[in-house]
Structures are given as C-alpha cells and as structure tokens.
Copies of this chain bind each other. A is one copy, B any other.
Amino acid sequence: MKITIPAQKLSDAIATACCAVATKPAVPILRNLLINADEENQKLLLCGFNLSLGIQTRIDATVESGGTLALPAALLRETIQNLGGDLNLEIKDKACTISHSSGKCRIQGTSAEEFPNLPTAEGSQIKISAKKLKAAIAATLFATSKNETKLVLTGVNFIFDNSEWRLAATDGHRLAFASIPSTEENENNTNLAITFPYLNLGELERILEKSPDNGTCEIQVSDNIIQVFVGETKITSRLLEGTYPSYPSLIPTQFTYELYVDKKVLESALRRVQILAEKKDKIVQIVWDVGEETATLYAQAQDVGDAVESISIKSKSQTNENITISFNIDYLSQAIKHITTDEILIRANRCSTPVILCPVGGLLDQLSLVMPVQIRDTAQTSPKAKDKDKNGVDETTGQIESPKGETSQNTAKRRRDKQVKENEPAIPA
C-alpha cells in the first residue's frame, strides 16, 4: 500500500472509527483499526469493531497502490493527531511508515486477515433526516437504564410503521418519548420494532453531530443487526433482544394542571436548590401556586441547611387549587435539560401521578414523563404562611420553613422516619 492523504482529514476519520474500538477488548486484534486503501476508487477505508458496534468510514486519498493492515488504534490516533500537512503512508512487512515534513514514524501492524468481518444487515433501506434523528436520540437516550441487568431497558426502543418513527426510553422511574414523521420517500411497507443499545446509540449520536444538518441517513435492519449510513460512515450495531414494555398506556392524556415555565429560569433555580438536595435525599419539593402564577422550589438537608427559590410561571390549569409535587431532582433536571425549547409545558394531575414535560414548539413531537416522589404527609396546598416573608423564612427564628408551614427540622425528621423507601419513584406497570 502507498497513499498520500492530508493529516487533518485522516485524523478526523481515525477519531470516528476509534469510537468502536474498546480500550481493553477480549481479543487483542480488536485493539486495532483496519485500514484499507482502495486503488480503484481512490479511497481509504478505516474500520473499528468491538463485536457489538462497528464503525466504518471512507475518505478520499491519492492511492498509488492498494493494500490493507490492522494498526494499533490508540497509537495511530495519537500519532496522526500530532502531524500536519500531507502524509505519505506505506505498508511493508506488516508495518506502516508514515512520512511527514519533518520526519518519519513506523508503526507495527497485524495482518488484516485476523480482523473479524463486520456483520451485515440486508433489509430494505429506510430514509430519515439526520437532523431529526439526532434530535430524537438526544430527547430519549438519557432516560435509558444504565443497569445492565435491566436488559432491554438499556436501549432506546425504535418503532417504524411507515407513517412515523417513534423512539422511547425508560429506566422504570422516568420515560422519554419522541416521534418523527416519515419522509414520503419511504413507501415500502416496512414495519420495525427494535431496541438500540444505549452505548452504541451514543456513538451514533456523536457521528450525527458531525454530519451536516440537511443530510439524510439510511437505516437497514435484519437479524438483530442495524446498519446506519451517515454520509461516508457506516455504523453497524447489534440490537437488544427481548420485548420492549408497552409504554403508551403509561402516558396520561388528560391533565388538570398545565403550567408554562421558562426553561433557563427553572434550570437555574433547580441548580441552586440541587446543591443542598444532593447533600441528603435528592428531593426537591415544588409548590405550584396557580392563582399567583409562581412556583416555589424547596430542598433541605438536615444538619446542613435548606434552600428556597421562587420563580414565575404561567398557568392554563382547570383549577385554582395549588399543588405540591416532590421530585427526584436528577430525574427532573435531566428531563428539562433534554428539552431544547425556551419554554416548557409541565402537565400534571395529582402529586402522586406521572408528570409530563413537553417542549413548547420545537422540532420534535417530544415528551418526558417523570414520576413524583410520594411524601404521604405533605399536604397538596401551599402553606401561605402568615407572619413570614415572601420566601418562607420565619422572621422570629430566621429558619426557612418548608412549603407545608412546618419548621424544616420537623419535616425532615418526619420524612426520614416514614418515607425512606418512597424516594425511588417507580412508573406504575
């Protein structure tokens, strides 16, 4: 093999293919990238594979003579990253010599024959907008379970029924859903229901981030293998086996409360109370005052301190009664983070039933379902505490009070005594 290629272009391609290379693979050959110079098409192919995910990418090169070799991925990546200008690569005696303006470097390789073949999928190709696929992955991926014993829940479920794609992810405590209408080009009566492992989908997301917004991906599925073609890159992934739980029935369709909040305002208020919530039980209690159109966030860590924040909201609710809902602050923050519009609609019925967060406008039909934390002794109405200032601080003692109107120490004690087991909200099956 003898080729000439710009260092930057090669470096980018290596970085892409390296996403599928494990640092400590079961088989040593998988520590390598397979490089293959195609003289006929004047292309260099690079391929990484970790048995679950394969990434193959193709770049233009001046190929004087073709050839193939497996080269240590990390060493190759680091070497090329530190080079500039045009590089000459030459393979001789299972070693690749890289010549550049100020020197040369020789890297020992392994015969390409030892590198396993990527599995292939043969079903018909379905087209999808790269931009929308990227957005739908970002809207759902975070809600997958990271616990490998939860099998099918460690992936994002993709359903395609000719009219649209529906993506969903849940870890049992929260659920994220997004749908994309199908493009008219897909008229081939393909029906799919697959579950894409979260780690591999994360790599696909990163590759999509680099692709132009107006691009189109092609998806091909067969025998538990998915292939996604993004520009000159092909991502091959094994799929998760098992039946994905039926989630549509879990999503309420009627709501008593419809509350509109500014995303940035809510995020920054949450970030401030989160510091204290994280010292203890990660719970944030939010009093939605429908009449006054304010939300009061409250977090507390016994013997450490407490924090209270007030923000403005807009309400289009069917009631004027206030509602207090407690959340695991991580689940709530992550749901908000993955909605990209400036305004968020929060829909709820009771303090113990699923709360839905949706974007107001935006590219996608998207929602996040978060189960509240149930605190039995919390009344559903705001304290409207008398003799206390606007932020709920008792002027006599200087101690911030919980929205219930109790002193924070009492609430904390009661909460600790009774509700420890209830801090893990679960989606009712």
- Which residues of B are found within 8 Å of A268, using beta-carbon distances? 82
- Which residues of B are found within 8 Å of A273, using beta-carbon distances? 103
Interface window among A116-124, A307-315, A355-363: A307-315
| Alpha-carbon separation in the docked complex, A170 to B92 (Å) | 45
Top-5 shortest CB links A-B: A103-B309, A105-B307, A92-B398, A107-B305, A104-B391
Interface window among A94-102, A145-153, A221-229: A94-102
Nearest chain B CB to A412's CB is how many angstroms away?
12
A56-86 residues at the B interface, CB under 8 angstroms: 72, 75, 78-79, 82-83
| Alpha-carbon separation in the docked complex, A265 to B81 (Å) | 16
Known contacts A75-B279, A82-B275, A398-B95; decide if A393 and B104 are in contact (CB<8 Å).
yes
Known contacts A79-B275, A82-B272; decide if A106 and B309 are in contact (CB<8 Å).
no
A306 & B272 in contact (Cβ 8 Å cutoff)? no
A97 & B275 in contact (Cβ 8 Å cutoff)? no
- Which residues of B are found within 8 Å of A105, using beta-carbon distances? 272, 276, 305-308, 400
| Alpha-carbon separation in the docked complex, A107 to B306 (Å) | 7
- Which residues of B are found within 8 Å of A90, using beta-carbon distances? 398
| Alpha-carbon separation in the docked complex, A276 to B107 (Å) | 9
B107 & A310 in contact (Cβ 8 Å cutoff)? no
Nearest chain B CB to A194's CB is how many angstroms away?
40
| Alpha-carbon separation in the docked complex, A117 to B105 (Å) | 59
Q: Per-residue CB proximity of A101-115 to B under 8 Å, as 1/0?
A: 011111110000000
Nearest chain B CB to A170's CB is how many angstroms away?
30
| Alpha-carbon separation in the docked complex, A83 to B99 (Å) | 53
* A310: contacting residue among B83, B102, B272, B297, CB under 8 A: B102
Nearest chain B CB to A388's CB is how many angstroms away?
11
A103 & B391 in contact (Cβ 8 Å cutoff)? yes
* A397: contacting residue among B93, B309, B392, CB under 8 A: B93
| Alpha-carbon separation in the docked complex, A397 to B107 (Å) | 14
Q: Does A163 lie at the interface of the complex (its beta carbon under 8 Å from any beta carbon of B)?
A: no
Q: Per-residue CB proximity of A267-296 to B under 8 Å, as 1/0?
A: 011011101100100000000000000000
Q: Does A304 lie at the interface of the complex (its beta carbon under 8 Å from any beta carbon of B)?
A: yes
B398 & A97 in contact (Cβ 8 Å cutoff)? yes
Known contacts A391-B104, A398-B97, A399-B106; decide if A271 and B82 are in contact (CB<8 Å).
yes
A304 & B72 in contact (Cβ 8 Å cutoff)? yes
Known contacts A93-B398, A95-B398, A272-B83; decide if A307 and B106 are in contact (CB<8 Å).
yes
Q: Does A185 lie at the interface of the complex (its beta carbon under 8 Å from any beta carbon of B)?
A: no
- Which residues of B are found within 8 Å of A303, using beta-carbon distances? 108
- Which residues of B are found within 8 Å of A275, using beta-carbon distances? 75, 78-79, 82
